[in-house]
Structure 1
Amino acid sequence: MDFDRRAFLVQCGAYAAATMSTAQAVAQTALGEATLTTVSDGTLTLPGSFIFEPMPQDALTPILADYGIQHDRLEPECNLALYQDGTRNVLFDVGSGPDFMPTAGAVIDSLVAAGLAPEDVTHVLFTHAHPDHIWGLLDDFDEPVFADATYMMGRAEWDYWWNPETVDTIGEARAAFAVGAKRRMEMIEDSVVLFDDGDEVLPGIAAIATHGHTPGHMSFELRGGSQSALVLGDAIGNHHVAFRKPAWISGSDQDGDMAAATRQMLFDRIMAEQMQVVGFHLPQGGMGRVDRAAEGFVFVPDAT
């Protein structure tokens, strides 16, 4: 009997989806005739210092207490956006895959639960090439998971990770990020579509340069009729200090000053246009709205 590798993966995903004791939160909204949904890739487990180390600790402590966040341990959700317009099934990023963290890499399960097989994904748009966003490009057999998809990435982001000097300049703690990104990008080198800030990458989807978290990080503005949403990636990377103190430097950003300026620009735009947002690491499915608070902003999730 022939061994169908992809059918095997789909069957495994269907079994996992059917046997999960607790489902990850998902959210969904309509954008004109299209639908925007979040699908879970699981969670990460990170040391608090990964984000909090450069922040003023005395001022940080009461903020974390307000949100019930531990100072030494973070477990953020990983929520991928899925845009469906009747013709295209567009996935933003591909998650962690099997090689990053045991608590992540569940996107196939989530897609199966949503009624989609990997071959149903027509386009993959990358916000950036950190492990939890691109390592899921390859499956357990070291082949592209979404083999029938068109892969698209911002030109500046591609050039940064493709540069052979990046692994030596990114810093020891992130050197594995560079090696892992390059290995996966080599698999799509001959077919990837590159785009720039302001490009309409697909009908109803425009790229917005949100550099800082990585040198070429991109977010995406989605519009359908009078409705709009902003797929943030990691440009606003959490619902606590990034919202309460967007000007603070975060240890998770490769260029802290640029990332802080980007966050403030995004909050200005979101509030001016009252846009719905999808954040990769925002809670309760990652989709919601932004309200002003006495200090900074607050994330109001759609999922309950």
Structure 2
Amino acid sequence: MDRRSFLMRSGMAAGCLGLSPVIAQAQVGQATLTTVSDGSLTLPGSFIFEPMPQDALQPILAKYGLSDAQLTPECNLALYRDGERTVLFDVGSGPDFMPTAGMVTDSLDALGLTPEDITHVLFTHAHPDHIWGLLDDFDEPLFADATYMMGRAEWDYWWNPETVDTIGEARAAFAVGAKRRMEVIEDSVELFDDGQEVLPGIAAVATHGHTPGHMSFELRNGSDAALILGDAIGNHHVAFHKPDWISGSDQDGGMAAKTRAMLFDRITSERMQIVGFHLPQGGMGRVDRTSEGYVFVPEGA
């Protein structure tokens, strides 16, 4: 049995164990937009909440039944199929980041897909839960037949040898892990810039701040449009209620807050569907404006 067959059969076996990936689905014109689960993360609340005004934070957490001690956000990868291309946005955590994540191959299997069916992988950014799933158990690209694409500014940041020394001790492993995976696709990756149509009907939108080169993607098919957010709007609670608050999860908190303001204005004015990597119930839905800020409305709600 060759390595690919081994991995595929291993994934199928895991899928038979009763895993139930969270999946949301909608049409974008003639194309299908689906979210596939990579599991979830377990994070200390301080990772996000530490810079925030604690007294004002508590009522928001209480409203959503959350603790400031620990969070367990979903990880939702967007999958776009237009009949010609099968595009996966990010690749998840793989087996080396957290035991609660790294189940994207099982989720694809639930849809009748294998890694070989993915024609393109578009990266929003290179944090572990978005890029560490790039490699299989043999340190080769898991999505072997896919074209890999990343924003030029994001690639340059993680490729820079100075990043590991300037990103801070808490994120140094992020830089090492990203660089190791990027080295595998160095000779084949395609880089793009803000505003560029990277594939037919898919345009890059600069949403810097969470990382220096973070990209979102606007999908347009016919009269329908959707926005793949990555981590530009990273949660359904404080990011929506207080988008101007600095979040500890963002590498440049001030820039990330400006990005959120831009995105909320655009999403609500154009009534765009969104997919957020860490938003709940599959991560797909819309945004409503309220007297207190914004609220996430999951698909089907």
Tell me the TM-score normalised to structure 2 length: 0.99
State the distance in 1 between where 2:163 and 2:36 align.
31
- What does residue range 44-193 of structure 1 map to in structure 2 within 5 Å? 44-193=41-190
The partner residue of 1:259 within 243, 256, 260 is 256
Runs of 4+ aligned residues of structure 1 deviating over 2 Å after TM superposition are none
- What does residue range 146-295 of structure 1 map to in structure 2 within 5 Å? 146-295=143-292
Deviations 1:112-138 (A, max 9, x none): 111111111000000000000000001
The partner residue of 1:33 within 24, 30, 39 is 30
Shift of 1:293: 1.7
State the distance in 1 between where 2:32 and 2:138 align.
32
State the distance in 2 between where 1:303 and 1:53 align.
33
- The amino acid of 1:13's aligned partner reads G
Q: For the Cα contact (< 8 Å) 1:285–1:303, is it kept in 2?
A: no
Structure 2 SS opposite 1:61: helix
Deviations 1:31-66 (A, max 9, x none): 111110000000000000000000000000110000
Structure 1 SS opposite 2:218: strand
In structure 2, what is the equivalent of residue 12 of structure 1?
10
Q: For the Cα contact (< 8 Å) 1:26–1:40, is it kept in 2?
A: yes
State the distance in 1 between where 2:250 and 2:145 align.
32
State the distance in 1 between where 2:118 and 2:162 align.
33
The partner residue of 2:40 within 40, 43, 46 is 43
User: Which ranges in structure 1 are unaligned for 5 or more consecutive residues?
Assistant: none
State the distance in 2 between where 1:43 and 1:134 align.
15
State the distance in 2 between where 1:74 and 1:293 align.
24
- The amino acid of 2:254's aligned partner reads D
State the distance in 1 between where 2:300 and 2:169 align.
38
- The amino acid of 2:3's aligned partner reads R
State the distance in 1 between where 2:37 and 2:9 align.
18
State the distance in 2 between where 1:301 and 1:127 align.
21
Tell me the TM-score normalised to structure 1 length: 0.98
Matched residue pairs, number? 301
State the distance in 2 between where 1:277 and 1:46 align.
24
Q: For the Cα contact (< 8 Å) 1:47–1:74, is it kept in 2?
A: yes
Structure 1 SS opposite 2:38: strand
Shift of 1:303: 5.0
Shift of 1:292: 1.1
Structure 2 SS opposite 1:261: helix
State the distance in 2 between where 1:132 and 1:224 align.
28
State the distance in 2 between where 1:6 and 1:39 align.
21
Shift of 1:5: 1.6
Aligned alpha-carbon RMSD (Å)? 0.9
Q: For the Cα contact (< 8 Å) 1:287–1:303, is it kept in 2?
A: no
Shift of 1:294: 2.1
Structure 2 SS opposite 1:19: coil
State the distance in 2 between where 1:50 and 1:14 align.
35
- The amino acid of 2:5's aligned partner reads A
Q: For the Cα contact (< 8 Å) 1:207–1:219, is it kept in 2?
A: yes
